[in-house]
Amino acid sequence: MRRRAADYRRPVRRRLSCWIWSLLGIFSIVGFVLFVVHHHHDHEDHVEQPVSERESRNEQVVHERMNLTQEMLSVNSYARQIAEQTTLAKAYIIIAKEHNNLHLAWELSTKIRSCQLLLSKAAMRDEPISLDEAEPNIRSLSSLILKAQDAHYDIATTMMTMKSHIQALEERANAASVQSMMFGQLTAESLPKKLHCLEMKLMADWLTKKSLQDFADERRNSPRLVDNNLYHFCIFSDNLLAVSVVINSTVANADHPKQLVFHIVTDSIHYGVMLAWFLNNDFKGSTVEVQNIDNFTWLNSSYSPAVKQLMSTDSRKYYFDGSEDTGVEPKFRNPKYIYLLNHLRFYIPEIYPQLEKIVFLDDDVVVQKDLTPLFSLDLHGNVNGAVETCLEAFHRYYKYLNFSNPLISSKFDPQACGWAFGMNVFDLIAWRKASVTSRYHYWIEQNADRTIWKLGTLPPGLLAFYGMTEPLDRRWHVLGLGYDVNVDNRLIESAAVIHFNGNMKPWLKLRINRYRPLWERYVNQTHPHLQDCATH
């Protein structure tokens, strides 16, 4: 075939092919560039998003305070994990010590202190524990716990050991509680040294000053002591300063103090002390009588089953030995309940046979208002006027008496409202008519084995005066100042009589300081003997 001339060949086709390849190359380069740029932007987006989320979370941590309690309750919190591991580690410390593995116990103790320090720091800075902080502590403590388990301290051993330790701690706690009650009771029964000093000085006065004894003989037969036109109060106590405060406060708040007569009965030890004090002090014209219980020859075991029981060997062993029944609380062994002065309140008509009405006051009360209106109250034929206590913490009959005894359950309402001794107005005419003292004797005999009530004068009082007690306005008598630190101030201010019932008497160091001034203002601190003994 003849070759074409150069002018007739197809150069256009060759040029088109080059152009196409050039375009393809350009597109490839552009596509690569676009891919790189797109990939770079995607990477920036993925990086910037978590950073911004982290920043937002950090800002939240900065602005929100951590609640450590919620942290400890949270299942996922590091604080809770550390606390739980610490508790387990403490158990293994006890077991390690029992097995004489002191090195392991030391390692566990060291790591526990480190964990406790971390928890304290977290609480101080109000921020949760981070993973970086928690991880080394959790890991090392877990390693030690596994080491303890490998040393045969398995879960069963741990549980048995901890159970025995819990029982031992409970026994120690119970023993400490009983011991605390006994010490508190002992403190309440003990006479402070400074008051003992006062009594010694007064006894010296009584024994050395015959003029005091002559004066006492002159006052003994005063017609005022049996005058029913006057207002009579009785107090049975061996606490000189306490009785003095009762009389001082009653006289200070009386509209007509010269019409008041106070009848004190004490024991032979304090008889001279009381006379020396009350004969040498002025009470705004009121009359004060002091009697010795040993002179009540009629109050003997043949007449009174209470005296018979109190003098019995079994009773003294029960109150003073304490080994007969370990289930009885220490307060139920208080020897004051075997003290006859505490039971004289049931013999008031016999002690004062010529009186018709009298107000009984405990020696741990303070009078804040005139009490003479009590004598004109209508008791509606009842013997005892008293403030009911069932409004103050469930003081009903079933709390004082054994209603499983058919003798009690058949005669008394378990929901009947209790009332308080401490400030009581007694109609002695109605008392004698109803033979209340005989009723008291009956219930004392029925309780010879202490199955109806354990001790005290209130339970037999609830029985003897059942159906014969007139409820008084509670403002006449406010209780609780010897054990309750939260008595309402308004109630105290409105009260005619406030009562320091309980172990925390105002003349003791074991007292509630908030109420101390209410009692102390009626202490005659100008008396030379009081100043010498510095009882205030």
Q: Where are the domains of the chain?
A: 74-153, 193-533
Per-residue confidence band for 169, with pLDDT thresholds at 50, 70 and 90? confident
C-alpha dihedral, 356 to 362 to 365 to 369, nearest 10°: 0
DSSP lists the bridge partners of residue 85 as none
* Residues 361, 347 contacting (CB under 8 angstroms): no
Both tokens of 165, joined, read 């330790």
Q: Does CATH number 3.90.550.10 belong to domain 193-533?
A: yes
For the segment 402-414, the average pLDDT, to the nearest whole number, is: 94
Residue 514: phi and psi, rounded to 5, are -60, -35
Least confident of 79-83, 350-354, 482-486: 79-83
Per-residue confidence band for 177, with pLDDT thresholds at 50, 70 and 90? low
Higher pLDDT, 242 or 98: 242
- Tell me how far apart the alpha carbons of residues 398 and 500 are, in angstroms, rounded to a whole number: 24
DSSP lists the bridge partners of residue 235 as 264
* Residues 131, 78 contacting (CB under 8 angstroms): yes
pLDDT value of position 503: 86
Higher pLDDT, 128 or 258: 258
- Tell me how far apart the alpha carbons of residues 208 and 505 are, in angstroms, rounded to a whole number: 32
Please state whether 304 falls in left (phi above 0), alpha (psi between -120 and 50) or beta: beta
Cβ atoms within 10 Å, residue 496: 21
pLDDT value of position 72: 60
For the segment 34-43, the average pLDDT, to the nearest whole number, is: 47
Higher pLDDT, 66 or 133: 133
Both tokens of 264, joined, read 């004190």
pLDDT value of position 37: 45
Asked if pLDDT for residue 463 goes beyond 80, the answer is: yes
Given the DSSP bridges, would you call strands 357-361 and 423-427 parallel, antiparallel or unpaired? antiparallel
- Tell me how far apart the alpha carbons of residues 188 and 191 are, in angstroms, rounded to a whole number: 8
Position of tokens 């009470």?
Answer: 283
Query: What is the residue-wise DSSP string for 305-371?
Result: HHHHHHTSHHHHIIIII--S-TTS-GGGG-GGGG-GGGGGGGGHHHHSTT-SEEEEE-TTEEE-S--
Asked if pLDDT for residue 181 goes beyond 80, the answer is: no
Asked if pLDDT for residue 178 goes beyond 80, the answer is: no
Higher pLDDT, 242 or 324: 242
Higher pLDDT, 445 or 18: 445
DSSP lists the bridge partners of residue 262 as 233, 288
Least confident of 108-112, 178-182, 216-220: 178-182
Averaged pLDDT of the chain: 81
For the segment 288-297, the average pLDDT, to the nearest whole number, is: 96
Cβ atoms within 10 Å, residue 515: 21
Residue 49: phi and psi, rounded to 5, are -65, -50
Strands in 357-361's sheet, in edge-to-edge order, are 287-292, 260-266, 231-236, 357-361, 423-427, 384-386, 469-471
For the segment 281-285, the average pLDDT, to the nearest whole number, is: 89
- Which residue in 38, 128, 144, 36 sits closest to 89, CA to CA? 144
Least confident of 72-76, 466-470, 503-507: 72-76
Asked if pLDDT for residue 422 goes beyond 90, the answer is: yes
Q: Which residues, in sequence order, are CB contacts of 217 under 8 Å at separation 6+?
A: none
Q: Which residues, in sequence order, are CB contacts of 51 under 8 Å at separation 6+?
A: none
Q: How many helices (H) and strands (E) does the chain have?
A: 21, 9
Q: What is the pLDDT of residues 196-208, one digit of tens each?
A: 788 888 888 888 8
pLDDT value of position 485: 92
Asked if pLDDT for residue 273 goes beyond 90, the answer is: yes
Higher pLDDT, 219 or 487: 487
Both tokens of 226, joined, read 């049996």
Q: What is the pLDDT of residues 487-524, one digit of tens each?
A: 999 999 999 999 999 889 999 888 899 999 999 999 98
Could you give the 3-state DSSP secondary structure of residue 295?
helix
Give the up-direction half-sphere exposure of residue 96: CA atoms within 13 A in the CB hemisphere: 23
- Tell me how far apart the alpha carbons of residues 508 and 52 are, in angstroms, rounded to a whole number: 69
Question: What is the distance, to the nearest Å, from the Cα of residue 298 to the centroid of all Cα atoms in its chain?
Answer: 42
